[in-house]
Chain A
Amino acid sequence: MGPVGPVALDADDGDSAEDAQLVSRAREGDMRAYDVLVTRHRGRVFAMIRNMIHQEAEAWDLSQEVFIKAWQALPRFEAKARFTTWLYRIAHNVVYDWTRRKKIESVGELNDEIFERDRIDPASATTPEAGEAPDEALARGELRVKIEAALAKLTPEHREAVLLKDVQGLAYKEIADVMGTSIGTVMSRLFYARQKLQTLLKHEYENR
């Protein structure tokens, strides 16, 4: 079963080809090309990091760090990987370095910032399509908050696996590359992450 939802990166062959051209120019020192690459990918990187650490301002800084590191590492970028996947790999390292620096005990922690009011704004881009009844939109917004809270209670490894698979739409092999592990480990992490999420969201999904 392919990725469900708003992203279907497998269909981005054209984008990947354009990325490859931009990467080639950026490697020659063309910062205009790199600027375009940043613009094309900053949204995904920022969303991924924000979903990982639940801190908007830190996510903003760390996302920039990803692109700075990516620029430095461009000579080592191998075209066999998608630029997007490669960026996620760098983002993975940046987030884990940051986590180590901050000495965050992620398990069981929940940052209140994820409940910022604007994140459950029914008018936000992540809400269901227009035409939805207000009460239904509100319910979806509440569900989103609960899901984010549940994700925040997972270990960083489990959370990252779920986000890369279900939100970013990466294939298992790509997730394994990003996380620097095997496909088997990815499957295992997804399995246990889903078990935990089911427990945490029991009331949301049991009676559907």
Chain B
Amino acid sequence: MNTKTDETLLARWLEDDLEGAELAAFEREIADDAGRFAERERIRALKRDLATLLPSSVEPPYPDFFNSRIERAIREQSGPVAEPAARRSGWRAFWLPATAVAGMALAFWLGTKAGTRTEVVAAPAPSAVELAAAPQPGLYTPERGVDAEWFSSEDAEATVIVLEGVDAIPDSMDFSETVSIGDDSQGMAGLKTPETKEVRQ
């Protein structure tokens, strides 16, 4: 008897991979071996439990963040990625260590610190060339329904983060307790959101 062949057949039989004449012949061969049939039943039960108790799909924690980190890594490694011109990226902008709300607070706070400025300049959207040449920051908005866009213009000496879908900020909120700023000269001169209209000093 060819032991190797038997073992292969046994493995396939236990996997329910034998069919037709092959199956019938093998089962005739082991017909007196009740232990084998019991073993197959145990394996079948185990397979059922594996399939039902262990999930085949588990949404990773912070799935939006998960995606945005991938995109950021790809952009860092690949440089600007060509995208269809007519379509704005559907990704939730880019990732930033701070949340979008903290970014908004940061920009607002910087705006209030810039005492020489009397008006927030609405920066024109940068051209594709400008975007491609400039280092791209990451913006991450953890809250569903909130989109963030970032614009920078040397002409306007302004960096603007536009948030869509964020709740209005209560007047009582103290931004200085929510952010930590090491350098005021980051160029973030102000902030404009559809909800808060235009922020003016």
Chain A residues proximal to chain B, CB less than 8 Å: 1, 3-7, 28-32, 34-35, 38-39, 42-44, 46-47, 50-51, 56, 59-60, 63-64, 67-68, 71-72, 125-126, 128, 140, 143-144, 147-148, 162-163, 166-169, 172, 184, 187-188, 190-191, 194, 197-198, 201, 205-206, 208
Shortest CB distance A79–B (Å): 21
- Chain B contacts for A43, CB-based, 8 A: 57-60
Would B77 and A7 count as touching, CB distance under 8 A? no
Total of A-B residue pairs, C-beta within 8 Å: 155
Number of interface residues of B (CB under 8 A): 48
Closest A residue to B60 by CB, please name it.
Answer: A46
Report chain A residues within 8 Å CB of B55.
6, 47, 125-126, 167
Known: A63-B66, A147-B46. 12 other contacts (CB 8 A): A1-B16, A7-B56, A31-B74, A42-B63, A46-B58, A166-B54, A187-B17, A191-B7, A191-B10, A191-B15, A194-B14, A194-B43
Give the dominant DSSP class at B's interface: helix
- B90: CB under 8 A from chain A? yes
Shortest distance between the CB of B79 and any CB in chain A (Å): 11
Rounded to whole angstroms, the CA-CA distance of A68 and B69 in the bound complex is 10
Partner of B90, one of A4, A5, A32: A32
Whether the pair A191, B11 counts as a contact (CB closer than 8 A) is yes
Q: Which residues of B contact A147 (CB under 8 A)?
A: 46, 49-50, 53-54
| B89 contacts across to A, CB distance below 8 A | 31-32
B73 at the interface (CB under 8 A from A): yes
B53:A42 contact, CB within 8 angstroms: no
A62 to B14, CA, bound (A): 33
Residues of B within 8 A of A169 (CB): 51, 56
Other-chain residue from A3, A184, A198, A201 in contact with B39 (beta carbon distance below 8 A): A198
Determine the residue in chain B with the shortest Cβ distance to A166. Answer: B50
